[in-house]
Structure 1
Amino acid sequence: VGLTGVTIGWALGFPAAVAAASGAVCTSIADRTDPLRLKIWIMGFAFAGTVFFTGLSGFARFDTIAFILATAFVGLWAGLISAYGKWVLSLAMTSVLAFVFAMGQAFATRSDVADHLMLTALGAMGYTVYAVVIAWLFDDRGRRLLLAEAMHAFAAYLRAKAALYNPDSEGPGAFRAMIDAHAALADRLQAARDSLFARRSHRTQLKRIDTLIALLDAFETVLSSDADLEALRHARDNPWGRELMWKLNGFVSQMAEEVERLTLALRFRHGHTTPLRHAEDARALQEAVAQAREAAPDDAIIHAFIATTNKLVLADSYIATLATALDDKTEPTTLAAGLDLDLFRQDAPRGLGVLLDQFRWHSPALRYAIRLSLAMTVGLGLTLIFPRFAHANWVLLTIALIMRANYSVTSQRRWDRVTGTLIGCALAVTFINTLPAPVLLLLIVLAVGTSHAYGLVAYRVTAVGASISSLLLLHFVDPLVHPQFFERIVDTLIGAGLSWAFSYLLPNWERDDLPRTVQGLLAADAGFAEAALRRVHSSQAYRLARKRTLEAVAQLSGAIRRLADEPNTNRRALASLGELLGANYLLASDLSSMPVLVKLRAQDLDAPLADAAITATRERVVALLSPEGGAEGVDAATPLRDSLAGMHGSAAMEVLGRRLEHIEHAARKVARLAARPVIEDI
């Protein structure tokens, strides 16, 4: 943005630099860390949107009716294209911002509009070319950034897990924090898959894929260690149980620190690192568990500690594998060649047909588009009626930035926007009154960068940066210094109020989609059980089923958070959903433990007998989780079976038998919680 403004300003003067910079700012909104092929399309659409909506705003302003209709169209467009998913939200903001920036210009004739449009298009084109070239040159840097974000999220998940092993922590609160960290990790992993799996023709690209797969394997092994979490939490009431819990807490914390350390290798294209296994700590942990077993050989909780310790030690070895994959000295494996990686990428909706399908009354995108369009139109109407007290460009921008397709996000962004605007306006007025024009231009660049950096993690910071950059740009367009602070506050309050009021018009309540979300979760669980409950696993089918289950858990977790913010929410239903989420997390942990169990005890299992038991359990679990069989089988007693250990005297078969019983019990609990009337009638 800064280079665009400086280049155009050097050639054509300061007013031209402001116009070109506004085009670059609008286009930059869509500049995200996307796969290179998708980046070209996104930036192309951003350029087209910037030019079109700048021209629409400029040429329509000479007729009041036409301008009102243009404003309504902008709202409809920004709402309807949300049907294409998250990746187009930045394009919607590009369209609105271009429309709003052009509103702040003083055009005497249509010729002035054409001149401004040409300069805006020049700035937008300059940034588009710059963004695509930089993305191509630094494609691997973007992949490393996504990998680092996924690894940081994994470290956060490990810390949340370590907190759960703290015997003095509050169980429900710590458990919910771990589930939230799990949901955040699932989002980061999917973003990494979408980018890294898109290109795999070069050695470096294959190395990044190996790193992500190693990270996924480490995550799955850690997840599998939660299969006995309920039993471990009951052990904190006795001295040896507390001591073992503290040792688990320390061991997992060390794993989190190691993952954080490994992210440093991603700072460089050809990074080097060495595995750091905690062999002595692992040995001390295993010896402590062995001593506890000698002291209480008949205590069933000891078996839970043994299984958990073995899985965590295995997870530590996978983190060492992650370090090996990160080291540029090692060669890429052939694992990527054995998987159809395209199946693991998120398939974004494409084509004009997606847009045409939204013209149905019950379409969430259409209802959101109507809400947004009416709110922006009313906001414009208020500024026309009370021009001294409200200013259309800031009011419309506030509405578009705050209002989202669901009530919860709109409500949260409303307060973030108001407080962020207060802070940003105060800073902007201070800057305008104390700093020279060249420094203000530099601050615009820094503010735009800040808005981008915090857009997905802290919207309040984004609102501060957006307020500073927008206010400074408007200052250069029309340098009225002193009244701007109070005007922007009033405009923000008007926009926030309209966003809140219109969020009740044709709303998309989370509770309306909840039954479908729960059914999707059960379907994903059934698919995961089908793939996981086998002695010999198909890597492709198992990994794909695991991915779908993790995404379904993350989706339900997000739905519960959004539902909690909606008015008139049944708190009893929220509690039931939280219980379902926790039970489903434990079921996923149980199912993830099956490949780990087979890996650790493959040599000791009786293959024919194990296959028969696993198959029988798989059929019952899938039936429990299916829409047809779940309701009927939920209250049925778990079928009795002979002890597998008793048939052959094998400790491995006994462990397998306990695990299968535990999985079936967990599936029964999930099916029972999902069938509760309070969830169906929420």
Structure 2
Amino acid sequence: MLSRQLKSHHAISGLGCAAGVLILTLLAYALLGFRAAIAVSTGALIVSLADIPVPRRNKLPLLLANLVQAPLVTLALVLTHHSTTLLALAIVLISFCSGMAAAWGRRAFALSYGMAMMMAFALARPDLPWPDQLTLIGLQTAGGMLYIGYALLLARALDMSMRRRVVVDALYGFADYLRSKAAFFDPAQPLEAVHADLVRQQAALAEKLQTARDFAIDAHPTPQQQALSNGLFALIDVHEDMLANQADYAGLRRAYGTHPVTGLLAEATLANADAVERLAGSGLTPGPTVLGADLRPGLQPKLERAIEDLRRQADPAQRPLASAIDVLARNLLSGVERLRGCEAMLRTVPGAATPVDEVMQQFLSRSSFTARALREEARLDSPVLRYALRLTTAMLAGFLLSRHLPYATHGYWILLTIALVMRASFSQTKRRQSDRMIGNTLGCLFTALLLHWVSAPAVLLLVIFVCIAVAHASVSVRYRYTVTAACVMSLLQLHLIAPGSFHISERLYDTAIGVALAYAFSRMLPSWERRSLPALGGALLDALRDYIALALRTDAKNLHYRLARRHVQEALAALSDAVTRMRDEPASEHLSLATLNELSTQSYLLLSHLAAARGLLATRGAEMEPVQLGHQLDAARAQLTRLLASGADALTDGPAPPAPADDEAPARQLDRRIASALADTRALMRAARALGAG
């Protein structure tokens, strides 16, 4: 796991950020002296917070946003620091703007964090004459501008490497998903718990796949970039094949849960996970293929013997289930072969790349700093506006309290703690309390020991360099590591800005006060997840309707189908994430977890049955009579769409899906898949109606 994280795109990005800040600081120190170097490093550090792993085309707006806010925040605080009232108003304005930045999405967190850290640095700065203040602000801005130039050059140099690493991260996410699927064959694992875990893994995988799409798809790709995007789409197809395999899992588990064959099916699933991990471990760099050898020798003959024994021992009524296990086993065993095809596409560079059309562009995430996004949140029921008001009130309370504490506190640390602990959701705030307390305690202790034994600025700058790298690299793995590294980085930077300002006991008290205030104000104008869940459920139903309209058609364009599938996966992931956050909220604010889990699980199963139907059309559609097939698909689409539109029929159970038959004709198999999809739809619509989404 450690090796996997050290090679990730987050680790490489963090190392690049740290190197940029260090290089610019050392150059400024050599040319302009120590005081100017600290100002340059401050500007570079603030801008580097926004240097997160994003496609090269999206990097400049994020960096520019932090470059612009830094001098504005500094000027606002320098101009008002002689008046408590004016300074409080400046803090209120900065805090509100920081909170409203959440309207621009997750990537704008770097902007909010940058504003909070810039506020701390500006408040810690000694009172200097105006010419000196303006000089420092100019040097700070120059440091930020130089860092942007460095970051853009580095992004160009590492472009292909970062693209590969992001796809590797998606591969690891797929391997984790497959390992979760193997739990279906363990009868000791409750089926509901396995489904819930798999939906969460699917949500995590959907996010990684979208990040990979954003990096791999380019408007005018090079042949190497084209190979990467081709391989990524092949991987997504393998994922759908694995999703389709799940269509019969529940019935087979009920019939053969304790039979040795289920253990072999689990092993076959894990063999696919091993293959994906081996492919990811190669880094996708040029070289020989890594999926040539059998990863689990002897598995196939053992599985074939177990299935043959099962056929001989089964009652005539159970032979169709044995046939279904045979089909499932063959599909799982052929998964590694499909992964070999995926590897071949990743490693085969085409002679010429194909420009991306408008449909393909729709697979990319959209992020921009527009005023429209802010206007859409200018309403009292907006979660973003409520968060901005909570944050602003908590920051004002922290500032006023810091002015009346009995010890010589530096209020900026309380404010920085509040800004970093309080998040837009109650769940995130609650989770970050302990991480922030423990991380800051460790950071303060380490900094105290370091400053006791070391005073050389060069050594302190090297420690800051390491902390920047660790903070960036661990942000998506362990937030506590990020907090500890960021604490040391901030304290050392503050020490260089204002020597002698660090007192360990005061920083620990300030951390405790900041965490307490953040938690207390998190209940002011709360945005409980229960308010958003019906809308998220409705969005999932809309996405399912669009998906059904394309999944059960033989003439649907492949890209349009892929886009509809992506929208369903994103809607399901959004619902799953909201349910996870709701679990951390007070029990009085919960909706029925059983209902929500039913909605998520049945939606996931509906996807698997439709994927199985589509796979059947691709492999055996030619064996079916075209006119009859068209009527069959038209009727199925109409039934499913009607159920999703009104849900009235969902209140009564329909006929049970037929059991598998021995040597099933493709038309009967399709009927069975459609019947299972109808049963899933009725179940999910009952849950949606109970939730208020249907």
Coarse TM-score class (shorter-chain normalised): over 0.9
1:580 aligns with 2:594: no
Alignment check: 8 A CA contact 1:224 1:311 kept: no
Instruction: Tell me how far 1:60 sits from its aligned partner.
Output: 2.5
Q: Distance in 1 between matches of 2:302 and 2:358?
A: 38
CA contact (8 A) 1:162 1:252 kept: yes
1: CA distance between counterparts of 2:572 and 2:466? 38
Q: Which of the residues 272, 283, 289 maps onto 2:307? A: 289
Report the CA distance between 1:277 and its aligned residue.
6.8
Give the whole-Å Cα distance in 2 for the aligned partners of 1:232 and 1:32. Answer: 45
What is the deviation of 1:579?
2.2
**Post-superposition offset of 1:174:** 3.1
Query: Any idea what the Cα deviations from partners look like across 1:517-550, whole Å, max 9, x if unmatched?
Result: 1111111122222211234442122111110111
State the 1:236 CA deviation: 4.1
Partner AA of 1:127 in structure 2: Y
- Does residue 52 in structure 1 map to residue 69 in structure 2? no
Aligned to 2:692: 680
Contact preservation (8 Å) 1:76, 1:370: yes
Residue equivalent to 2:538: 519
Is the aligned partner of 1:607 residue 2:616? no
- Alpha-carbon distance change, 66 to 304 in structure 1, aligned in 2, over 3 angstroms: farther
Amino acid across the alignment from 1:468: V
Instruction: Say if 1:411 and 1:500, in contact at 8 Å, map to a contact too.
Output: yes
| CA shift for structure 1 position 348 | 2.8
Q: Which moved more, 1:664-673 or 1:598-607?
A: 598-607
Q: What amino acid does structure 2 have at the position aligned with 1:527? A: D
Q: Which residue in the other structure is 1:189 paired with?
A: 209
- 1:634 and 2:655 correspond: no
Tell me the amino acid that sits aligned with residue 570 of structure 2: E
Distance 1:280 1:324 in 2: 25
3-state SS in 2 of match to 1:107: coil
Which of 196, 220, 225 is 1:176 aligned to? 196
Partner of 1:233: 253
CA distance in 2, matches of 1:597, 1:500: 53
**C-alpha deviations, 1:113-162, integer Å up to 9, x for none?**
21221221122122111111101121112211211111111111111112
CA distance in 2, matches of 1:123, 1:641: 66
How far 1:333 moved relative to its partner? Answer: 8.9
Cα 1:4–1:335 change in 2 (3 A) is closer
- Structure 2: 5+ residue runs without aligned partners? 1-20
The match for 2:681 is 667
User: Match for residue 464 of structure 1?
Assistant: 484
Distance 2:408 2:612 in 1: 63
Which of 52, 57, 62 does residue 32 from structure 1 map onto? 52
In structure 1, the partner of 2:15 is: none
Aligned-pair distance for 1:637? 4.8
The TM-score normalised by the length of structure 2 is: 0.91
Distance of aligned partners of 1:276 and 1:673 in 2 relative to their CA distance in 1, 3 Å threshold:
farther
| Contact 1:58/1:102 (8 A) holds in 2 | yes
* TM superposition shift of 1:31: 0.3
Q: What SS does the aligned partner of 2:560 have?
A: helix
Select 2:382's aligned residue among 337, 342, 363: 363
Q: Which deviates further from its counterpart, 229-238 or 22-31?
A: 229-238
- Once the two structures are overlaid, the 10-residue window that deviates more, 492-501 or 17-26, is 17-26
Choose the corresponding residue for 2:407, options 371, 374, 388: 388
Distance 2:323 2:352 in 1: 36
Structure 1 counterpart SS, 2:362: helix
* Alpha-carbon displacement from aligned partner over 1:356-381 (angstroms, at most 9, x marks no partner): 33322222222111111111111111
1:51 to partner: Cα distance: 2.4
Q: 1:286 to 1:601 in 2, by over 3 A?
A: farther
The code of the aligned residue for 2:565 comes to R
Q: What count of residue pairs does the alignment treat as equivalent?
A: 669
Paired residues of 1:421 and 1:463 also in contact (CA < 8 A) = yes
**Structure-2 separation of matches of 1:349 and 1:47:** 16
User: In structure 2, how many angstroms separate the alpha carbons of the residues matched to 1:137 and 1:355?
Assistant: 35
Q: CA deviation at 1:638?
A: 3.1
Aligned to 2:292: 276
- Is 1:263 the counterpart of 2:280? The answer is yes
Q: Are residues 1:568 and 2:587 paired?
A: yes
Opposite residue 279 of structure 2, the aligned amino acid is L
Structure 1 residues 390 and 243: alpha-carbon distance in aligned structure 2, compared to 1, 3 A threshold:
same
* Cross-structure match for 1:97: 117
Q: Distance in 1 between the 2:413 and 2:676 partners?
A: 58
Cross-structure match for 1:616: 635
CA shift digits 1:530-586 (9 cap, x unpaired): 211234442122111110111111111101111111113466701221222122211
Q: Give the direction of change, closer, same or farther, for the CA distance of 1:616–1:334 in structure 2 (3 Å limit).
A: farther
The residue matched to 2:218 in structure 1 has which SS?
coil
C-alpha contact 1:645 1:653 (8 A) present in aligned 2: no
Q: How does 1:529-608 map to 2 (within 5 A)?
A: 529-569=548-588, 573-608=592-627
Gaps (5+ residues) in structure 1? none
Partner residue in 1 for 2:428: 409
User: Alignment partner of 2:206: what SS?
Assistant: helix
Q: CA deviation at 1:169?
A: 3.2
Q: Counterpart amino acid of 1:229?
A: Y
**Cα distance between partner residues in 2 of 1:176 and 1:527:** 24
Q: How far 1:55 sits from its partner (Å)?
A: 2.5
The CA deviation string for residues 54-77 of structure 1, in whole angstroms up to 9 with x for no partner, is 222223223322211111111111
AA of the residue aligned to 1:448: I
- Within 2, Cα distance between the matches of 1:554 and 1:65? 45
Aligned 8 A contact 1:207 1:332 in 2: no
Q: What is the CA-CA distance between 1:382 and the residue it aligns to?
A: 1.0
**Counterpart-to-counterpart distance in 2, 1:266 and 1:409:** 33
Distance (whole Å) between structure 2 residues aligned to residue 9 and residue 387 of structure 1? 38
Q: Does the aligned pair in 2 maintain the 1:428–1:468 contact within 8 Å?
A: yes
Distance 1:514 1:42, change over 3 A: same
2:92 aligns with: 72
RMSD across aligned C-alpha pairs, in angstroms? 2.6
Of 202, 206, 227, 2:222 maps to: 202
Task: Quote the offset at 1:111 in angstroms.
Answer: 2.2
Which moved further from structure 2: 598-607 or 127-136?
598-607
Amino acid aligned to 1:261: R
Within 2, Cα distance between the matches of 1:445 and 1:161?
Answer: 41
Instruction: Tell me if the contact between 1:30 and 1:90 (Cα under 8 Å) persists in the aligned partners.
Output: yes
- Range 49-58 or range 565-574, more displaced: 565-574
Q: Which residue matches 1:22? A: 42
CA distance in 2 between counterparts of 1:532 and 1:394 reads 54
Q: Alpha carbons of 1:226 and 1:414: their partners in 2 closer, same or farther (altered >3 Å)?
A: same
1:454 to 2:468 alignment: no
Q: Distance in 1 between matches of 2:668 and 2:300?
A: 25
Q: Which amino acid aligns with 2:687?
A: L
Using the aligned pairs only, state the percent identity: 30
> For residues 237 and 66 of structure 1, what CA distance do their matches in structure 2 show?
70
Greater alpha carbon shift after TM alignment, 278-287 vs 259-268? 278-287
Q: Taking CA–CA contacts closer than 8 Å with sequence separation of 6 or more, which of the two structures ends up with the larger relative contact order?
A: 2
**Aligned-partner SS, 1:673:** helix
Check the 8 A contact 2:398/2:414 in 1, yes or no.
yes
Name the amino acid aligned to 2:170. A
Cα pair 2:223 2:353 within 8 Å, conserved = no
Find 1:653's aligned residue among 658, 664, 667: 667
Q: Residues of 2 paired with 1:554 and 1:472: CA distance?
A: 39
Instruction: Output the CA distance in 2 between the equivalents of 1:641 and 1:186.
Output: 29
SS at match of 1:256: helix
Q: Alignment partner of 1:360: what SS?
A: coil
Q: Residues 98 and 133 (structure 1 numbering): CA distance in 2 closer, same or farther, change over 3 Å? A: same
Contact 1:376/1:396 (8 A) holds in 2: yes
Amino acid at match of 2:573: A
Q: Give the 3 Å change call, closer, same or farther, for CA 558–386 of structure 1 in structure 2.
A: same
